[in-house]
Amino acid sequence: MSFLDGFYEKQRTEDLKQLAQNIAHVILVYKDREKTLSIARELVDVYDTRMVITGSLGKYINQDVDRRDKTIPEVKAEEFLKHPVLRQARNDRIAVTRDFFQVVPDKGRVPRYEEFVAVAVPLHSPDLNNELILYQTMDELRETTNKTTWLIFYAAVIGIILTTFFAFFLSTRITQPLHSMKKAADLYAQGDFSAQISIRTNDEIGDLASTFNHMASRLNDLIVALSREKEQLSSVLKSMVDAVMTFDHHGRIIVTNPPAEALLKAWEYEQGMEEDNDVEKGIKFLPDSMRSILEQAVRNAEEVVTDVVVQGRIYAVVMAPLYDDDQIRGAVAVLRDMTQERRLDKLRQDFVANVSHELRTPLMMLQGYSEAIIDDIAQTAEEKKELAQIIYDESLRMSRLVNELLDIARMEAGYTQLDIRPGNLLQLEDKVIRKFNGVAKEQGICLQMDWQAPDSMFYFDADRLEQVLTNLIDNAIRHTGQGGRVTLRTFMQDEMYIIEVADTGSGIPADDLPFVFERFYKADKARTRGRAGTGLGLSIVKNIVEGHHGTITVRSKLGEGTTFSIQLPIQPEEGRNR
């Protein structure tokens, strides 16, 4: 409106200025004043303008120059001559102004001011020294402005209505589909690919919605396929006997299967790695022995095959690098327990030597002392009796060795009859403890029983189980020094009753742990303190426990002690042959 008002005012002013200049030219050119004023009157009548011609002293030259139409108020010449802008016409300059001037009031009315546009043009010639003033009211401008205002208002109303319809169109055709796509995209980001976008149009928005739906369907198919592959891979890993683990190039373990978890726990127990692993964040790191293999695989970018020993068990390790494009991001390791194979190899090599070793000494003693008797080296009856006693003891030793070998052979062949029946396990354990109390006190060892089971009646072969406990406690006492402690502990766990024989003795070296249940196997004989056995006791113990549908395991740390743990079912089959 301000722009239109200014533009219209400028246009009217220019027109009025042009009219004033034309009238001034007519007045100056034509000598007939009366005719000239008549022409001027007709011109100003056409343009709704009023005209005043002033003298040099501010007086009207002609009082009848007025127009006959009185719609334009009359303003005295003195009012214009007092205006500082219009006075510039005296200096041969055209003066233009828009201002309020006092009009000549009608009869009985108070003088008032109205706004006019006035133009003053000099009328200077040798015989004239006047000014021509033309002025117009602002009514026409205001009327035009009002009409323009209404036109703008109508245009604004129409524009608002059209904008509203267009906004509604955008909302229904563009905004709502886009909002639906955003919600669907959020659901896709959360893993829900079942959301579908309804297609309402056939334009580009509809094509985009159709593409979104197709993308969701394809993503859902891919996720399902990946999930199946992941489940298959997980099932394969869980069903594998070998330990499998993957880790990054920093040694942080990423994926493991159950055998690998058990192996890591054994590693932590053996090497005290609990402090190296961030338990709160669930981050586990490889042991030092595996880190060196990882560094070799990453450095050489090739597969590494080697052996590691964990709790005395030998594992063959095959480690291969994992690639992310051309960069090595970690490695995968497969660990296979080769203890049994190595043990069988060792047994094959050592069986003959062990049997020969066990039989050679008593045979040599039998041969030597019998020759002494034959050669009459023993002169007195007492000496002959002593030699005969030695021959008898060695024959008993050989007989015991042969019987133990036969027992093991029968057990492994499945011909041993176990007389499994209900019995009082507490009484049996108390009997075994009382049997070893004297020996323990002589050696300064604390022998105790820790009974934690809620019931004492179980199914077992009393004679065979007593043989097991006797063997384990005898071994514990022989390998525990003065001031040590041997504990026979019994408790229930997961529908099994657990019998543990724990000592605080010298312990078993990690290299010997996998072989303690093998025939003729003996750990450091220097720790038997002169009471060496045949090396068959623990092998017999293992066979008896397995005849009860049970298992036996051993945990040991060198210098801290050993714990043999027997897990037996509450109600095994009676009379099971082995």
Q: Which residue, 441, 424, 432, 510, is CA-closest to 467?
A: 432
Does residue 455 sit in helix, strand or coil? coil
**Quick one: pLDDT at residue 152?**
87
Mean pLDDT of 36-63: 67
Mean pLDDT of 30-49: 76
> What span, in angstroms and rounded, lies between the C-alpha atoms of 162 and 157?
9
**Quick one: pLDDT at residue 575?**
41
Reported as a pLDDT band with limits 50, 70 and 90, residue 487 is: very high
Q: Which residue, 486, 475, 479, is CA-closest to 441?
A: 486
- Of the listed ranges 114-118, 270-274, 481-485, 571-575, the one predicted with least confidence: 571-575
Reported as a pLDDT band with limits 50, 70 and 90, residue 61 is: very low
Tell me the β-bridge partners of 331. Answer: 247, 321
**Quick one: pLDDT at residue 519?**
67
For 106-152, the three-class secondary structure string (H helix, E strand, C coil) is CCCCCCEEEEEEEEEEEEEECCEEEEEEEEEECHHHHHHHHHHHHHH
Instruction: State pLDDT tens for residues 207-263.
Output: 888 888 888 888 888 888 888 888 888 888 888 888 888 888 788 888 888 888 888
**Quick one: pLDDT at residue 237?**
81
CB 519 within 8 A of CB 539: yes
- Burial code of 203-221, b = ≥16 C-beta within 10 A, e = fewer? eebbeebeebbeebeeeee
User: Contacts for 523-529 with beta carbons within 8 Å, 24 or more apart?
Assistant: 527/479, 528/478, 528/479, 529/478
Q: Which residue, 571, 574, 550, 575, is CA-closest to 458?
A: 571
CB 520 within 8 A of CB 536: yes
Instruction: State pLDDT tens for residues 145-197.
Output: 788 888 888 999 999 999 988 888 777 777 777 788 888 888 888 888 777 87
**Quick one: pLDDT at residue 576?**
44
Measured CA to CA in angstroms, residue 107 lies from 77, 466, 567 at distances of: 19, 148, 133
- Rounded-to-5 percentages of helix, strand, coil across the chain: 50, 25, 25
Mean pLDDT of 407-432: 78
User: What is the DSSP track for 467-496?
Assistant: HHHHHHHHHHHHT--TT-EEEEEEEEETTE
Tell me the β-bridge partners of 567. Answer: 498, 551
Phi–psi pair at 97, nearest 5 degrees: -150, 155
CA dihedral 123, 126, 129, 131 (to 10 degrees): 0
> What span, in angstroms and rounded, lies between the C-alpha atoms of 73 and 80?
14
Beta-carbon count within 10 A of 11 CB: 11
**Quick one: pLDDT at residue 544?**
84
> What span, in angstroms and rounded, lies between the C-alpha atoms of 548 and 545?
5
Given a cut of 80, whether residue 402 has pLDDT beyond it is: no
**Quick one: pLDDT at residue 501?**
92
**Does 399 or 565 have the greater pLDDT score?**
565
- Burial code of 423-457, b = ≥16 C-beta within 10 A, e = fewer? bebbebbeebbeebeeebeebebebeeeeebeeee
> What span, in angstroms and rounded, lies between the C-alpha atoms of 208 and 225?
25
Q: How many helices (H) and strands (E) does the chain have?
A: 13, 16
Phi–psi pair at 255, nearest 5 degrees: -130, 140
- Of the listed ranges 5-19, 171-185, 320-334, 519-533, the one predicted with least confidence: 519-533
Instruction: State pLDDT tens for residues 426-466.
Output: 898 898 898 888 888 888 999 999 998 888 888 888 888 88
Angle at 22 between CA 19 and CA 26, to 5 degrees: 140
Instruction: Give residue for tokens 């001559």.
Output: 81
> What span, in angstroms and rounded, lies between the C-alpha atoms of 371 and 381?
16
**Quick one: pLDDT at residue 535?**
67
Q: Tell me the pLDDT of the chain averaged across its residues.
A: 79
Reported as a pLDDT band with limits 50, 70 and 90, residue 62 is: very low
> What span, in angstroms and rounded, lies between the C-alpha atoms of 270 and 202?
70
Can you give the pTM of this predicted structure?
Answer: 0.38
Q: Which residue, 266, 267, 260, 261, is CA-closest to 289?
A: 267
Reported as a pLDDT band with limits 50, 70 and 90, residue 560 is: confident
